[in-house]
């Protein structure tokens, strides 16, 4: 029974240990199915080796395999990072959250710095989040009193900070008096950028 595992009353055959060929097949299938970074591919292959083991007497050279995929263009950290950055900022996440996501994906420091959103993109992301979550002038509720209004503003400010926005940007959005004021704030950063 060494090659079987019990799963909810049934037995399942344990997968055979990997060899170099099967490891490369797993890597090809992974990059074909998912947009990925070199760091994520490396972590995936390491996990598969931990789960299934590797044929005795052989040493898996994961770094060489990942390097091969990078060399062939199957994995491109900069393209992956750019796509992830654009996706997150278009959904309203701030620069800090973008940086954390890229770091978790194994993107190098130099690439992360080159992909950092500019001031206009940061402001636009803050505006997007405010519009989606009905913060600031997008969702003025009639609070019962000043205490309730203050608490609501604090909660919304905290939500923007958790989404990765700078404190100054978050406060500007929450305290804005009108949608036009925020749109001018974003347009100002766009005109300064280019």
pTM: 0.82
- The pLDDT tens digits of the residues spanning 31-68 come to 999 999 999 999 999 999 988 888 866 778 899 999 99
- The pLDDT tens digits of the residues spanning 61-114 come to 899 999 999 999 999 999 999 999 999 999 999 999 999 999 999 999 999 999
Q: At 1, is the pLDDT very low, low, confident or very high (cuts 50, 70, 90)?
A: very low
Check residue 16 and give its pLDDT.
Answer: 82
Question: Which residues have a Cβ under 8 Å from the Cβ of 83 and sit 6 or more positions away?
Answer: 35
């Amino acid at each position: 029974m060494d090659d079987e595992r019990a799963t909810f009353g049934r037995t399942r055959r344990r997968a055979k240990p990997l060899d170099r060929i099967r490891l490369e097949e797993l890597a090809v299938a992974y990059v074909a199915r998912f947009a990925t970074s070199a760091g994520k591919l490396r972590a995936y292959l390491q996990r598969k080796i931990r789960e299934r083991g590797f044929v005795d007497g052989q040493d898996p050279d994961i770094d060489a395999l990942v390097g091969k995929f990078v060399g062939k263009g199957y994995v491109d950290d900069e393209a992956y990072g750019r796509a992830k950055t654009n996706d997150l900022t278009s959904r309203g996440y701030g620069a800090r959250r973008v940086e954390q996501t890229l770091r978790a994906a194994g993107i190098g420091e130099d690439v992360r710095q080159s992909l950092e959103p500019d001031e206009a993109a940061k402001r636009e992301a803050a505006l997007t989040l405010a519009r989606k979550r009905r913060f600031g002038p997008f969702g003025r509720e009639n609070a019962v009193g000043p205490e309730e209004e203050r608490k609501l503003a604090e909660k919304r400010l905290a939500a923007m900070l958790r989404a990765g926005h700078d404190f100054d940007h978050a406060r500007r959005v929450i305290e804005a008096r009108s949608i036009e004021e925020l749109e001018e704030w974003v347009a100002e950063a766009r005109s300064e950028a280019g």
